[in-house]
Every structure is written in C-alpha cells, then in structure tokens.
Amino acid sequence: MTTAKRTAYKVEFFFRSKPSIIYPFLAMPSGLQQWFAEEVSVHGKEYTFTWQGSQERAELVDRKREKFVKFQWIDREGDEYLLMELIPDELTGETILAVTDFENEDEIDDAREMWATAIDQLHHIIGG
C-alpha cells in the first residue's frame, strides 16, 4: 500500500429522476449491486463490496433518506469515505448525484472515468 496521502475529489452527475427513485440504488445492497459493485453483502452496518474478486469493506456511518449516504472505508489509511449526495434542482426538476471519494492525485482522472462508467449503468437502470 502506498504511503502517499490520497486526495478527496468530487464528481457530479445529473438525473431526470426524483431523489426517491435514486436513493434505494445508493443505500440498499440490492440497489448498489446493480451498478456499483458485483456483489454487496451487509452485516449490521458493515458493507462488503466485491469487484472482480477483490473486496473492500466500509461502515455505513450516516444516511438520510433521499438526501445522502456516507460510508467510511475500514481498511484504508486515514479518514477516507465515500459520500453520495442527492441534490434536487427545483428549477429544472433534475437531481444532482454528487459523489465524494478519495484517490491518489495522479489517478483522479481515471477514477472520474470509472465513476462516469458506473453512473452510465445507473442511468440505464433508472431510465433517467
């Protein structure tokens, strides 16, 4: 594991869906498994995400229905978390999904692309 401090970054995506439609895909294991990870299991507040055979564990530290979900990564150094916020735009009727995550400075562009690919899948599922 690298000793370089990882940097927080934020990406935003627009949906033509209400927060009530999007939220279960952020908070529920069955929803997350459709677009975020190949497999999601939950034991209490601990979520285990599986991608291509590797696993990462996170604790669900906070959530507010139809507003946000925050996971604290368990096996990462420092205070890294994943925050997914739903921000409704009353003017357009769209919802912004703002994602805050952590990555090495030189890998943030790749991470943004990974998020864009995952969110494309979520758009396809939700239809908005």
Q: Tens of pLDDT along 34-90?
A: 999 999 999 999 999 999 989 999 999 999 999 999 999 998 877 899 999 999 988
Q: What is the mean pLDDT of the chain?
A: 93
Q: What top-level class would CATH report for the domain 7-36+62-126?
A: alpha beta
pTM for the model = 0.91
In the chain, pLDDT over 70 holds for what percent of residues?
96
- Cβ pair 74, 81 in contact under 8 A: no
pLDDT at 2: 45
Instruction: Say if residues 49 and 58 touch (Cβ distance below 8 Å).
Output: yes
Q: What confidence score (pLDDT) does residue 5 get?
A: 77
Under a CB-based contact definition with an 8 Å cutoff, are residues 35 and 125 in contact? yes
pLDDT for 90: 85
In whole angstroms, what is the distance from residue 68 CA to residue 116 CA? 19
Distances (CA, A) of 59 to 3, 37, 39, 41, 76: 23, 15, 16, 12, 12
Beta strand residue intervals within 1-128, DSSP E: 7-15, 39-43, 46-51, 54-64, 68-73, 81-88, 95-103
Q: Over 80: is that where the pLDDT of 99 sits?
A: yes
Q: Return phi, psi of residue 124, to 5°.
A: -60, -40
**Ordered alpha helix ranges (H), the chain:** 19-27, 29-35, 108-126
What pLDDT was estimated at residue 128? 65
Give the model confidence (pLDDT) of 112-126 as tens digits: 999 999 999 999 999
